[in-house]
Amino acid sequence: MQFKGNLEKNKQSLESENKELAVDVKSLQQLKGESEHKRKKLESQLQEFMSRTTEVERVKAELSERSHRLQVNASRDSKRRSLRLLWKHNHYLKGNIHGTLDLFIVVSSSPNLSFLRRS
């Protein structure tokens, strides 16, 4: 009889332990599900971040190329403007020289202005 009583106690103890383990398993499965959900969410966020990073790098390269082209064009335009100004200034000076020469020729050939000529 004592043997049967010990068996019954062991059985109840094992059943109680089994229930506790079942609760632990259920809790761990729930935690595992939550962990998987968080992992998938983080993977999705990482993928989105990587996509945005790639887009930012592409835009950065594009803007860098545009900036370089604008600098080259600005330098080229600046040189063109300088050359135009030099040409205009040169043209202006030539016009003044010709005008001065024409005036000199007129003065030197005019009988009324003969007093200005050197003797």
The 10s digit of each residue's pLDDT in 24-51 is 999 999 999 999 999 999 999 999 999 9
Whole domain around residue 49: which residue ranges? 2-116
The tally of domains found in the chain comes to 1
Q: CA-to-CA distance for 38 and 92, rounded, in angstroms?
A: 78
DSSP calls for 75-103? HHHHHHHHHHHHHHHHHHHHHHHHHHHHH
Q: What is the pLDDT of the chain when averaged over all its residues?
A: 83
Q: Which amino acid is at 54?
A: T
Length of the chain: 119
* Residue 117 and residue 108 in contact, taking contact as beta carbons nearer than 8 Å: yes
Range 75-100 average pLDDT: 76
Model confidence at 21, in pLDDT bands (50, 70, 90)? Answer: very high
In the predicted model, is pLDDT for residue 107 greater than 60?
A: no
Look up the pTM and report it.
0.49
Range 109-119 average pLDDT: 57
Range 108-117 average pLDDT: 58
